[in-house]
Chain A
Amino acid sequence: MSSSLAGFLQLGLLVVALAACYKPLGDYIARIFTSEKHLRAEKALYKTMGVEADADQRWGTYARSLLAFSLISVLFLYLIQRIQEWLPYSNGMANVSPVTAFNTAASFVTNTNWQNYSGESTMGYVTQMAGLAVQNFASAAVGIAIVVAMIRGFTRTKTDRLGNFWVDLTRVTIRLLLPMSVIGAIILTATGVVDNFSLTHTISTLAHTPQSIVGGPVASQEVIKEMGNNGGGFYNANSAHPFENPSPFSNWFEIFLILVIPFALPRAFGKLVNDNRQGYVLVAVMASLWLISVAGISYFEWQHAGPALQSAGAAMEGKEVRFGIPGSSLFAGSTTATSTGAVNSFHDSFTAFGGGIVLFNMMLGEVVPGGVGAGLYGLLMLSMLTVFVGGLMVGRTPEYLGKKIRPPEMKYAALYILATPACALTGAALSLGFKAPRSVIFNPGPHGLTEVIYAYTSMANNNGSAFAGLGTAATWYQVTGGIVMLLGRFAPEIFVLALGGSLARQQAVPASAGTLETHKPLFAGMLVGVIIILVGLTYFPALALGPFAEGLH
């Protein structure tokens, strides 16, 4: 079987699998939030946390709960890294340095999972399990909770209540993420992903050189790393490591895990707003841009300029032979189009345009399909902008799902689209402007520029994949990166909640023939236009000096 045929088969099978999960999973997620009953485990949790489960919160309270929860998470994660040496199963790892601990705490709480450390030689098992893996669950659950609170803004009228953060968080974790992770982890273990507490042992290789083999609770963390769009690898090599991703099937399955929730959320949205067609439009937009990016990456990676690449048959540098071009391109496109950031190949070694697309995927704001929850709320924000411009063109005060876009709503949508580019561009420009951060750019010319832009785009959009080639262990990158990740996550989330609160207070306007139809292909097309022109074009100068300058000779 030729490599490209294998690529098409993988992709085709993936699309079929995702399509099959769309309805059942989406409907199930919707039911999680419409169900009146609390599970016994949940009740027990609410009692411990002192949560009044049936009391809904105003958007401000919801946001404060989110921030409080996240602050505690950051502090806890920081602490556990700083004292891991004295914890059991430390596997001989020393305490993490303060800047790295801060960066890592910010990174995992914001669902970014940017890693300035090498997993197997920095983190003990308790830190991995009780610290990082817990945040993999929590940060994913937060994303879904936020988008559901926003959707309540559409479905509720004349109220200032958006739901209860603690209940939403608990329900997503217990009813969605935990059961799916158990199933996923078992399948991963079956494909050969390790999961043990075995400490490092050293073996002698065929060449008689010693090699340290680190085991660990990998599969249990791997599954939520992918499914929660976290991306932080147990090992430094991330999903390129054979213990994390041993075979083409595990590779395919991990890509499936990355995409399954983000692609099912539009269905949950359609279900919750009582119009499945709204979900179809969003999923169509997500799917088409994701497919185009995967196709684009594959195309450019098959182009093999230079004798070494030609003899390898493609741009194989930095890619695992067991995945080849298709498995690597599909993974790269999916991990950057969602906010996952796990990698099974070295993005730095991609061709200029292949790497450019990977970068552009993140620049779109992680909306096609984006991170769990975060992708959908991002796309809904862009839908609001599309509806605003489109609604004007049909001669009415623009309204989305019966809710008008007036100055307050526009204010939050505008702030939302402003926040991420501001973080990404400012971070990158400052790093290029100062001498110290510039001195740890390891590649000259446009490629080095791309490395810096990639780093900040990835952090601001909470992706977490790295282009490498950049000395991000430098204090500058650790500190500014941590700040960019926190701002890039929480500023938009606060605007999303504020918008939801503003929408919920409104009376719904009944749809009529004069209403802009947001369930039609025309709207989908317009939304794609807005994503590319309004969001993507912001980065065009940066792209011109990076990938374009490198790729066009």
Chain B
Amino acid sequence: MSVSTPETRPAPEGPRAPMANVPARRVGGGLLDPKMLWKSTPDALRKLDPRGMLKNPVMLVVEAGSALTTYSAIIHSSAFAWVISAWLWLTVIFANLAEAVAEGRGKAQAETLRRTKRETVARRLANWTPDSTVLNETEVPGTVLAVGDHVVVEAGQVIPGDGDVVEGVASVDESAITGESAPVIRESGGDRSAVTGGTKVLSDRIIVRITAKPGETFIDRMIALVEGAARQKTPNEVALNILLASLTLIFVLAVVTLQPMAYYSGSPQSLVILIALLVALIPTTIGALLSAIGIAGMDRLVQRNVLAMSGRAVEAAGDVNTLLLDKTGTITIGNRQATEFMPVDGVSEAELADAAQLSSLADYTPEGRSIVVLAKQKFGLREREEGVLPGAEFIEFTAQTRMSGVDTRDGRQVRKGASSAVRAWVRDSGGTLPPELGQTVDGISAAGGTPLVVAERAPGQPARALGVIHLKDIVKEGIRERFAELRAMGIRTVMITGDNPLTARAIAAESGVDDFLAEATPEDKMALIKQEQEGGKLVAMTGDGTNDAPALAQADVGVAMNTGTSAAKEAGNMVDLDSNPTKLIEIVEIGKQLLITRGALTTFSITNDVAKYFAMLPAMFAGVFPGLQTLNILHLHSPASAITSAIVFNALIIIALIPLALRGVRYRPSSAASMLRRNLWIYGAGGLVIPFIFIKLLDLIIMNIPGFN
């Protein structure tokens, strides 16, 4: 029996898909492997310990009820009493099973992580300073390292602890934590200096200053997180638990006070029946699945390579009002790209493209590569390897000259670069600049693009400008729709960029972002966050640099990129191992889905009561008041079969809903109103109707069992 159809996993994204991955997107989660149920059974039985049940008042009541019915069955043995007490025990076990299965998935991940955390030997350097020439090296176990120690790591060795690279550059295999096999570069200084213990240096040699105590490293925290050891109830979970506990109390009261009324009415009920009624009425479905829902929510993040440092952060993600998104990498693909060649009068576009490509061969910046590629796409110009032009001298792009180019053997010089730099070069080389060049350059700037001027100088002639390359930020495909969805969800997006306001406005308009902060400094960012929070809004942002750290700490949801500095990772409350800033949007959705799942199952659990009343009350009292048989609208066979059916349904629905609890209810970004309507129909109306159907079906089976007819 299942109230939901299994859903296939979303198609795997390509490795580090740069696109926003929009169409038919749905927050999915892991599926339940039936084998997991079986494997988790011992854990579920272990959880029957009442001390552990204290944190779940609903199931504690069921467990106490199970014990009482069993006692009653022993004293006054009957098939009915034994069947009811067996199913009450099963109800508790199913609830524990839900939690055990959810935890089990984390345990498997923790196991994988532990394997990477094997004993390492650290080569500690005593009294290392940046300019020490003599290295005083001792080999110690990784576990004795203290914060501030320096260690040297060479190719093939495992980094013994979390730290910052203080000398050297190396390629590092971080697949142990990110699952990504492509190596990453880690170098001293700047925003790519953080290394994680347990990852492996593939090439070169680095000196690392340890920044975390053994046992408190990133991997340790990750293990604790996925295992759920550090799991604390989130505020919303606590609030829901209070509601469930009070409902339980109300029903305990209703059932306890029922007995004197029943006694007065001449129909006192047996303990077994009263407990069965109580268990049927208290919100066991949500009570059983609540903890699994929370664990599974964290798990869904882990599956997306996001580590949330607390469940509170995940919930906050669902509440976010404002998303601060870095332009680069989130809204636009990493770098600007050449989109157009705009020649001056008297020069053909192909001629310009050829010169542009030539001059960009030695420009290894992504912008330079995009020029080479555009020339190839537009005019079929083959990329010429540096060696193909014999004797040519390449001038690399540097930040100082802001130009790159080539001097061929025949004396031709081609240059390409920032407008002011190339124009100066032309003038210095005796050339003149056509007036339309300036217009084109200004036009591109005004549109938010970056103009690059291309010029050449034939031997013995003055230099001349050939035209302009239009470099443009490329807005990610589908991001506009994504922002529209976020708007529908009531979330405002703000683009953060270092660009000038003109450029920023152009990109903001193209991407459909709600607002932008141009020429943003870390202080501006911080001020914006505080201003939003002043108005009661929750803010989420991503960041990687050390100067992002204060803002990450201030934001309600701060997602640090794993490539970032340790300061940034410490400050944020989540770390994205893939370092993909677009993921912030997914995190918000996972947060929402977590809450929706709780709400939906609570609604379902409460509305179920109506059917259970109709099944059980006539069964209990139709003997003394035959008129109450009218309430037996399902025409259940006998009192025993009716009560048993309700209890069996109550237990089985838990098992049936475990997959839903783990996966989360279906979530599509939409307005609150349409989401509420949809979920009310499915889980509210569904919760009213479904138990009627299944209790009837169960009754049709149970009525055939001897002793129940």
Contact = CB atoms under 8 A, between A and B. Distances in A.
Contacts of B672: 394, 396, 513-517
A538 B257 CA distance: 11
B595 A414 contact: no
A385 B246 CA distance: 12
Contacts of A395: 318, 591-593, 595-596, 667, 675
Contact of A552 (B242, B246, B630, B675): B630
Contacts of A510: 321, 535-537
A534 B606 contact: yes
B240 A415 contact: no
A216 interface: no
Contacts of A526: 676, 680, 684
A435 B236 CA distance: 46
A307 interface: no
A422 interface: yes
Contacts of A449: 261, 264-265
Contacts of B236: 392, 397, 406
Interface in B212-260: 235-236, 238-240, 242-243, 245-247, 249-251, 253-260
Chain A: number of interface residues, binned into ranges: 35 or more
Interface string B261-305: 111110000000000010000000000000000000000000000
A529 B609 contact: no
Contact of B631 (A397, A417, A548): A548
Interface in B472-507: 487-492
B304 to A, nearest CB: 17
B315 A392 contact: no
Contact of B489 (A429, A514, A522, A548): A514
Given A406-B239, A513-B488, A433 B260 contact: yes
B580 interface: no
Contacts of B680: 390, 393, 522, 526
Contact of B264 (A438, A507, A538, A544): A438
B607 A426 contact: no
B157 to A, nearest CB: 46
A432 B242 contact: no
B472 to A, nearest CB: 32
Interface string B573-607: 00000000000000000011101101110110011
B627 interface: yes
Contact of A397 (B318, B492, B536, B673): B318
B260 A429 contact: yes
Given A395-B675, A514-B490, A541 B239 contact: no
Interface string A54-79: 00000000000000000000000000
Contacts of B679: 393-394
A491 B677 CA distance: 35
B64 interface: no
Contacts of A485: none
Contacts of A214: none
Nearest to B590: A395
B253 A389 contact: no
Interface in B650-679: 667, 671-673, 675-677, 679
Given A425-B257, A432-B260, A549 B490 contact: no
B261 A515 contact: no
Contact of B249 (A418, A426, A507): A418
B610 interface: yes
Interface in B604-639: 606-607, 609-610, 613, 617, 621, 624-625, 627-631
A552 B318 CA distance: 50
A333 B357 CA distance: 88
Interface string A315-352: 00000000000000000000000000000000000000
Contacts of A529: 607, 684
Nearest to B318: A395
Given A394-B596, A432-B261, A537 B621 contact: no
A148 B684 CA distance: 33
Given A405-B239, A432-B263, A390 B250 contact: no
B394 interface: no
Given A414-B246, A512-B490, A522-B676, A537 B595 contact: no
A544 B617 contact: yes
A544 B631 contact: yes
A510 B531 CA distance: 13
Nearest to B533: A507
B598 A392 contact: yes
Nearest to A534: B606
Contacts of B250: 417-418, 421-422, 538
Interface in A373-430: 385, 388-397, 402, 405-407, 409-411, 413-415, 417-418, 421-422, 425-426, 428-430
A429 B239 contact: no
A432 B267 CA distance: 13
Interface residues of B, number: 75
A393 B263 CA distance: 42
B397 interface: no
B319 interface: yes
Given A396-B592, A397-B595, A549 B627 contact: yes
A155 to B, nearest CB: 14
A425 B254 contact: yes
Contact of A429 (B243, B257, B318, B491): B257
A514 B491 contact: yes
B290 to A, nearest CB: 11
Residue from B319, B596, B602, B679 whose CB has the most chain A CB atoms within 10 Å: B319
Contacts of B489: 513-514
Given A422-B253, A514-B491, A414 B242 contact: yes
Contacts of A409: 239
A542 B631 CA distance: 14
A515 B607 CA distance: 24
B242 A425 contact: no
B683 interface: yes
Contacts of B255: 541
Given A405-B239, A432-B261, A552-B631, A508 B599 contact: no
A190 interface: no
Interface in B86-108: none
Given A385-B243, A541-B261, A407 B235 contact: yes
Interface in A433-461: 433, 438, 445-446, 448-449, 453
A386 to B, nearest CB: 11
B649 to A, nearest CB: 17
A528 to B, nearest CB: 12
B587 to A, nearest CB: 13
A389 B537 contact: no
Contact of B536 (A414, A508, A542): A508
Interface string B194-218: 0000000000000000000000000
Interface in A502-522: 507-510, 512-517, 520, 522
Given A538-B251, A544-B617, A446 B265 contact: yes
Contacts of B593: 395
A540 interface: yes
Contacts of B256: 429
23 contacts: A392-B595, A396-B595, A397-B318, A407-B242, A414-B242, A417-B246, A418-B246, A418-B249, A421-B254, A425-B253, A432-B261, A432-B263, A449-B264, A508-B536, A512-B490, A534-B247, A534-B606, A537-B613, A538-B251, A542-B257, A544-B628, A545-B261, A549-B625
Top 3 A-B residue pairs of the complex, sorted by shortest distance between their CB atoms: A392-B599, A514-B490, A395-B592
Interface of B: 235-236, 238-240, 242-243, 245-247, 249-251, 253-265, 277, 315, 318-319, 321, 487-492, 535-537, 591-593, 595-596, 598-600, 602-603, 606-607, 609-610, 613, 617, 621, 624-625, 627-631, 667, 671-673, 675-677, 679-680, 683-684
Given A397-B235, A542-B258, 9 more contacts: A390-B599, A418-B250, A425-B253, A432-B263, A438-B264, A512-B492, A526-B676, A541-B254, A545-B625
